[in-house]
Amino acid sequence: MYADDTLTPKETVRFCALGLLTSGASTYSELAIAVRHFIDRIQGPSLDVLGTSIELLKYEGLVVATSSAAGDVLEITDKGHSELIVLLTANIRAHTSDQNKLIEALKFRYLHILKKTDQSDQVDLLTERADQELIRLLDLREHYDQDPGHMVDWLDREISEIENRLLWLSTFKLKIDLI
């Protein structure tokens, strides 16, 4: 993890792989394809995905391999499940990036694994991040309010998207609390 307890690209790939294995055992090739497919569709093709070996998960004891006719079948271990919880509850960096979008997508994909209170905490984390982003953009809009260009138009669109995200997160949190 980075010093601010946020995930590195390598840990994001680990997060995806361990999350996928919570649904059941998988061969190495099936897991590698599924990880790459998910990450490529969320953030686009990335060298970070190609550079991370699923073999390392076996070495670290996060998954165990058993031989089968289809090849080695990987299953998540208790240690791997504990690591997944750590990755699932990690912070998200303040700036907006494709990496953060991927982490947020992974959080929503595997949020159901957490206890209800932890799910709610994660939604609070995402809400706080969006609130901070909104404050930053509102400040920027105020600064460029009299600018002759189209910066304010662009900022208004960005601000509207964040306000919609905050509304959605608020509704989603209510849904979690009712389940």
Q: Could you state, in order of their start, the residue ranges of all structural domains in the chain?
A: 1-113, 115-179
Amino acid at 86: V
pLDDT at residue 142 in the model = 95
CATH topology of domain 115-179: Monooxygenase (1.20.1280)
Mean pLDDT in residue range 146-160:
94
Statement: residue 50 has pLDDT above 60? no
The phi, psi pair for 75, rounded to 5°, reads -130, 145
pTM over 0.75: yes
pLDDT digits (tens, 9 = 90+) for 58-80: 899 999 988 877 678 999 999 99
Cα angle at 109 between 177 and 20, to 5 degrees?
Answer: 135
In angstroms, the CA 27 to CA 75 distance is 9
Q: Are 106 and 16 in contact (CB under 8 A)?
A: yes
Architecture of domain 1-113: Orthogonal Bundle (1.10)
Residues 142, 139: Cα–Cα separation, whole Å: 5
Residues 6+ apart with CB under 8 A from 37: none
Q: Which residues make beta-bridge pairs with 71? A: 68
